[in-house]
A and B are shown apart, each in its own frame.
Chain A
Amino acid sequence: MSVRNLRGAAAFVGTGLAGIGASPGFTHLDLLGLAVHDSLEDAGIPLAEVDGLFTANMANILPTLAVGEYLGIRPAVAVGTNTGGNSFVDHLLWAAMALDAGLCNVALICYGSNARTGKGTPPDAPPYEAIYNPREPISSYALAAARHMHVYGTTRAQLAAVAVAARQWAQRNPAAFVQDPLSLDDVLKSRMICDPLSLLDCCLVTDGAGAIVMTRPDRARDLRKPPVYLLGCASAQSHRQISQMPDLTVTPAAISGPRAFAMAGVRPGDIDVLQLYDAFTINVILFLEDLGFCKKGEAGALVASGAIAPGGSLPVNTNGGGLSCVHPGMYGIFAVIEAIEQLRGSAGERQVKGAAVALAHGNGGLLSAQTTAILGTAATL
């Protein structure tokens, strides 16, 4: 291995400190905000130019989302690796790589804590929202679904069509956890959890594990299986809590998608098979629209037409998805693995014939963070 030289590839241009000692009443993010403000003043760079966020703490399970929302920034690169107290020193390396690669232009590395005066509230309990007792994450997705129905006339039957299509794919996948037949009526009559989402609009809760190995192409060519290549990948985020999402019918997939397509040099029409993170039925509708597979507001009709089911023109979630195959809480890796299976041509009864370009889309938080990956066979390079 020869390391591409990062020596001198990135420079430090501003620092800030805040709340050193005891700052009673302040949250860790209040203090972080002041330090960030001063670091940007020190550099002479406006907050709006920050497009790389590197942060970790012991108070947020999803630190880049909590910090990004607090600061009001929408970074193109967000790294929340937490290896303990060394994290911010480690972040320097990933920040330098991202700056060097042109993935971001201004990297912000930041931290805040109220370890001395804070109340030690449980991780990620949103201080201004938990008091209302929303049933998360379902309430937030229900609010998005309700808004989409209000604005675009999307119906519960259209949402249900997503669950039915997932089940039809699952019936072709021996590894899928649930394979019983499922009708639109079954979904519509299942117990309501948070209107308009019923039990069968929600993903499974299963056990499960996944792993992926990547190498450089020179080594990949000599290994056991035909290599599948990463053609494009991009992330975007807009909020942590649903109340801070600018428009509940438009997710950051509308930003990650076009970036990933541009990097891959393909368009939505070039995609042979899609894996869209379906924690809830509304997700698939939102992502089909935001990723450009139909216009905003039209995905309800598209899924109701049968297009995403076996035999349809736009195969989605061929493993059965989070709704019928597997969902242990973080589904993204399973979306990528199914995309690889399809491109290897090893998906058995659910194989999409001749699949050469696949899209795997991950969702994080409460529609908060989105990553779009585009994969291709050797022939697509």
Chain B
Amino acid sequence: MPHEPPSAPGAEYEKYLKSGALRLQCCTVCGKQIFYPRTLCPYCGSVALEWRAASGRGTVYSATTVRQKPERGGDYNISVIELAEGARMLSRVEGIPAADVKIGMPVEAVIGEANGAALLLFRRMELP
């Protein structure tokens, strides 16, 4: 029998983001946090995935400044963020000059918007 798909992973991710919640898939078999959304676990092949609340905390694993003329919007950051629960994602650290984003910097997620779609951005985490 053909596999009847569960709910669409991308739509689910977007739905949570739009409601202001950060939920990411986790594998109920091997326990790994998964990003980007999928129908099966890329670590063990299981399809038993569930959407769990994520802390949104992470660190900058690597960073670059994309140089762009001021009239086109100026320089901006592109980073690979390593989330506290393990998954990695491409994103931008905003709120500070791109050149000030450093590898190892603690960051936390904020939900932003681009072209009508919700997206996850990061800000430098302020020490308490």
Q: Which residues in A have some Cβ–Cβ distance to B below 8 Å? A: 16-20, 23-27, 29-31, 33-38, 40, 46-48, 69-72, 127-129, 131-135, 139, 142-144, 146-147, 150, 191-197, 241-244, 248
Contact B3 A19 (CB under 8 A): yes
Assembly CA distance A193 to B43 (angstroms)? 35
Chain A residues whose C-beta falls within 8 Å of the C-beta of B63 in the assembled complex: 143, 146
With beta carbons under 8 angstroms apart, the residue of A29, A34, A47, A133 that contacts B5 is: A34
Contact A34 B47 (CB under 8 A): yes
B16 CB, nearest partner CB in chain A, Å: 14
Given A131-B115, A143-B63, A146-B63: A70 touches B42 (CB 8 Å cut-off): yes
A297 CB, nearest partner CB in chain B, Å: 16
Chain B residues whose C-beta falls within 8 Å of the C-beta of A132 in the assembled complex: 78, 90-92, 119
Chain B residues whose C-beta falls within 8 Å of the C-beta of A30 in the assembled complex: 5, 8-10, 38-39
Given A27-B10, A241-B90: A150 touches B119 (CB 8 Å cut-off): no
Contact B65 A34 (CB under 8 A): no
Assembly CA distance A240 to B93 (angstroms)? 22
7 CB-based A-B contacts, threshold 8 Å: A17-B1, A30-B38, A128-B89, A139-B66, A143-B79, A146-B103, A192-B65
Given A132-B90, A242-B90: A248 touches B66 (CB 8 Å cut-off): no
With beta carbons under 8 angstroms apart, the residue of A23, A35, A72, A135 that contacts B41 is: A72
Q: Which residues in B have some Cβ–Cβ distance to A below 8 Å? A: 1-3, 5, 7-11, 35-45, 47, 61-67, 76, 78-80, 88-92, 99, 103-104, 114-115, 117, 119
Contact A70 B38 (CB under 8 A): yes
Chain B residues whose C-beta falls within 8 Å of the C-beta of A47 in the assembled complex: 40, 44-45
A281 CB, nearest partner CB in chain B, Å: 15
Contact B66 A135 (CB under 8 A): yes
Given A46-B45, A71-B42, A248-B61: A143 touches B5 (CB 8 Å cut-off): no
A48-B44, A191-B67, A248-B62 are known; give 17 further A-B pairs, CB within 8 A: A18-B5, A19-B3, A26-B9, A30-B9, A34-B39, A34-B40, A37-B3, A37-B45, A71-B45, A72-B42, A128-B37, A129-B90, A132-B119, A133-B76, A194-B64, A194-B65, A242-B90
